Structure 1
Amino acid sequence: MTARTHPDDRGLAAVARVRGVRETDSRIGLQRMLMEESAVRGRLSSLESSVAAIEPAGTVPVGELVAQRTALAGAAVLIGETRDAVATAEVVSAEARARWASDRSRLAAVEHLLERRAARRRTEADRREACEADDLAAQRWQRGAR
């Protein structure tokens, strides 16, 4: 959009500014959600790798075996909760992506209308110029014919 708005387009330009702000807000929201989703995925990966790193107990005292099993049970619960958080983050990210795409297309539609109006005004100005040039040429020809 141009810095200077035609007087006929002031209302539509205001709509474009509002939609531009909405598009920016939804893009920022999407970026934040994608970062959050990535963080939750990283936490899940870390939990799963820490559980995978636990060595199976060979000949260890019973108390240590019970502690290890308790830690594994707690880790399993935490992994389950984190997987649920990943699923939720995926849904929210998809919704944020859809919102941003919608806002972006609405902004593009208004900008397209503004461009079409500007192109129509340029075409009309070119026609007027051509008509004036034809009139001037006709007047010169008439003066020369006398």
Structure 2
Amino acid sequence: MKDETLQATVVRDLVLLACVGLRPILVHSGGPEINLWLKRLNIEVNFHDGLRVTDAPTTEIVSTVLAGKVNKHLVSLINREGVKAISLCGSDGELITARPAPNAAKLGFVGEVARVDPAILWSMVDDYHISVIASEW
């Protein structure tokens, strides 16, 4: 969602869903923002079969950008619309457990979801908070 108009539309839709009694959860990534920061830090951006090759320095940037910058921005947009949002990432409360991707030798620290434990989400959902989850763990 690089476009601010699209961001605003998605946020308004989430808020509307929450206001009519549904309990949305937003899971996001942030590829363009990650690429921007990797380039700013002179870290080479590589992809293999459409997936980001992620070594240790790249992993640190991915985590910082997704769980810090992108996640906090989305939470602030939702909060400004009058609905409370909570910032989470996959490692919070062991929400998401991952296993190495089948081609991890070529991709580095890239994994796939092995398990999702929604227990941490229930109290937030029951209190009508929108959980905003960064897709990193």
Higher RCO structure (Cα 8 Å, ≥6 apart): 1
TM-score in terms of structure 1 length? 0.24
User: Which structure: greater helix fraction?
Assistant: 1
Larger Rg: 1
Greater strand fraction, Structure 1 or Structure 2: 2
